[in-house]
Structure 1
């Protein structure tokens, strides 16, 4: 019987705001004497993702995200010599709670989970303080486990186990919802949890337990209409 739901944060409940988009990168770059081309942001980010190397032991490591952001800055036309200081500044922007916007389906979905009496937790890889983030955005959740405080990143089993312990739920009683197949879905299923892939962009059509909006989550979890 379902007792708890774990949710990823970035690109599941929240999307980056303008300060974290192409023009935001351009503005931060200008502060560091760089002229960055916003039209190159998408391709630069995709290339940086391809080369992104996680810690071999899945340890949370800020340096990985600095190098990732540095690669984006260079890909947008930034001088490699000046790119690191700009990347550090940009990583700090990703720590600011006000730089994130809720998807329109996030709060209604959370409310429906609550109405069914489910315990709700957030599990996220990232630099920000997740508990402060939840308070800032007034999210009605029972637990927050962020990789910066926990020390390991998804899909390491311990970060899921910490969230389950905080919610007093066993893996078969819980479901994980997230946008990353490798981090969220495979990580949760390895523990025996059910996992729902949120595929907003339609990149995984045909994948089992897939939804394209959080408004479809209650039905996907088999929750009866109230």
Structure 2
């Protein structure tokens, strides 16, 4: 019996192809917010922003390279703290990974919006009594990624939301999927996972026993290698219902 649908976030529910500002420009603006916050504590020795920008960017790149090899999830707050340590910035009780995350003021990259069908699909799933979860490989904690869900009208639908930054591992590591199942209080064979990445979403979900659906982005070229095959494919979230009708008889009768 189908009891829950768990979604990836970026390029599954939110469309990053519509962004109006590139990541580097956005990141620079928000790092300046962090630098301004830090400088409120040190009037004599101000943080050199250009040095902070360069060191933090290098660390982000290095940390992600390491993460892709080990599946140890990066955490933006810890990266910013490490950058300050490398620049020999004096320790202060109000400068921590959590306060640095707050100072960064993440509000989502401009132009990134929910796919047109996202709200209606989540509403339909909820109306039929299904639980809804979210698992993202974001390096920001979930508490700040909820902003994008809220402004796009998606936040009220979720029973569980998990960011890799909070769990400590990236998809396809089993632990992040198992935590989602535990929070939703369901077994793997009672859940469907929907995501846009073969390696992270499809492999990870199938490895714990979930039915895995690939959400294809039209201009995104995918190569089926190493025997990776989703259980089903869609190009729009509203195609989920036909798949559920085929594989989960009676899924609409749980409300």
Superposition TM-score tier, normalisation by shorter sequence = 0.5 to 0.7
Conserved 8 A contact 2:118-2:237: yes
Taking a change above 3 Å as real, the CA distance of residues 23 and 129 of structure 1, as seen in their structure-2 partners, is closer
Taking a change above 3 Å as real, the CA distance of residues 59 and 115 of structure 1, as seen in their structure-2 partners, is same
Structure 1 counterpart of 2:208, from 188, 191, 211: 191
In the TM superposition, residue 62 of structure 1 has moved relative to its aligned partner by 4.5
- Quote the RMSD (CA, aligned, Å): 3.5
Considering only CA atoms, is the larger Rg found in Structure 1 or Structure 2?
2
Q: How many residues align?
A: 184
In the TM superposition, residue 102 of structure 1 has moved relative to its aligned partner by 1.3
The reply to whether residue 102 of structure 1 matches residue 114 of structure 2 is yes
Residue 193 of structure 2 aligns to a residue whose secondary structure is strand
Unaligned 5+ runs, structure 1: 33-47, 67-91
Can you list the C-alpha shifts for 1:120-156, whole angstroms capped at 9, x where unaligned? Answer: 0110011223244335514210001111111111000
Conserved 8 A contact 1:58-1:156: yes
The reply to whether residue 173 of structure 1 matches residue 190 of structure 2 is yes
Other-structure match for 1:12: 12
Residue 139 of structure 2 aligns to a residue whose secondary structure is coil
Unaligned 5+ runs, structure 2: 31-48, 51-60, 80-100
In the TM superposition, residue 119 of structure 1 has moved relative to its aligned partner by 0.3
In the TM superposition, residue 220 of structure 1 has moved relative to its aligned partner by 1.8
Conserved 8 A contact 1:19-1:25: no
Taking a change above 3 Å as real, the CA distance of residues 56 and 97 of structure 1, as seen in their structure-2 partners, is same
Mapping of 1:63-82 within 5 angstroms? Answer: none
Residue 2 of structure 1 aligns to a residue whose secondary structure is coil
Mapping of 1:1-226 within 5 angstroms? Answer: 1-16=1-16, 17-20=19-22, 52=65, 54-62=67-75, 96-99=106-109, 100-134=112-146, 137=150, 138=153, 139=155, 140-201=157-218, 203-204=221-222, 209-222=232-245
Taking a change above 3 Å as real, the CA distance of residues 174 and 225 of structure 1, as seen in their structure-2 partners, is closer
Conserved 8 A contact 1:18-1:24: no
Conserved 8 A contact 1:105-1:214: yes
Q: Give distance in 1, aligned partners of 2:25 and 2:68.
A: 30
Q: Give distance in 1, aligned partners of 2:10 and 2:105.
A: 12
* TM-score where L is the length of structure 2: 0.60
Residue 108 of structure 2 aligns to a residue whose secondary structure is helix
Q: Give distance in 2, aligned partners of 1:55 and 1:95.
A: 26
In the TM superposition, residue 110 of structure 1 has moved relative to its aligned partner by 0.8
Conserved 8 A contact 1:176-1:194: yes
Conserved 8 A contact 2:6-2:133: yes
Residue 54 of structure 1 aligns to a residue whose secondary structure is helix
